[in-house]
């Protein structure tokens, strides 16, 4: 069984499965990846039908960000592409 855990800005991947972006970390005896790769790791495990325990806590909710900055047309268009 694979366990995913959050550790100081990275994801620990415990178990015998190689994942995208995972690199062996001898300090903890498991694979480690930058936390920004978390969605790709989850998708890889699901698409590969590999059973795993997701022990990564959900992020703390934040309030909606606002700004009084007036965007230029190309900046507004770039934000609308998401």
pLDDT of residue 18: 86
Query: Alpha-carbon distance 41 to 44, whole Å?
Result: 5
- The domain spans of the chain are 2-54
Find out whether 11 and 56 touch, Cβ atoms under 8 Å: yes
Query: Alpha-carbon distance 73 to 81, whole Å?
Result: 13
Query: Alpha-carbon distance 35 to 8, whole Å?
Result: 9
What's domain 2-54's architecture? 3-Layer(aba) Sandwich (3.40)
Phi and psi, residue 68, nearest 5°: -100, 5
pLDDT of residue 16: 86
Residue 15 predicted with pLDDT over 90: yes
Locate 8 and state its tokens.
Answer: 């100081």
Looking at per-residue pLDDT, the higher value among 80 and 34 belongs to 34
Express each pLDDT in 18-67 by its tens digit: 899 999 999 999 999 999 999 999 999 999 999 999 999 998 888 988 88
Locate 24 and state its tokens.
Answer: 């062996």
pLDDT of residue 23: 95
């Amino acid at each position: 069984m694979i366990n995913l855990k959050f550790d100081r800005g990275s994801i620990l991947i415990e178990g015998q499965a190689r994942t995208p972006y995972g690199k062996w970390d001898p300090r903890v005896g498991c694979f480690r990846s930058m936390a920004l790769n978390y969605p790709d790791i989850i998708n890889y495990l699901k698409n590969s039908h590999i059973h795993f325990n997701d022990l990564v806590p959900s992020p703390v909710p934040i309030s909606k960000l606002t700004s009084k900055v007036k965007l230029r047309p190309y900046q507004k268009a770039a934000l609308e592409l998401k």
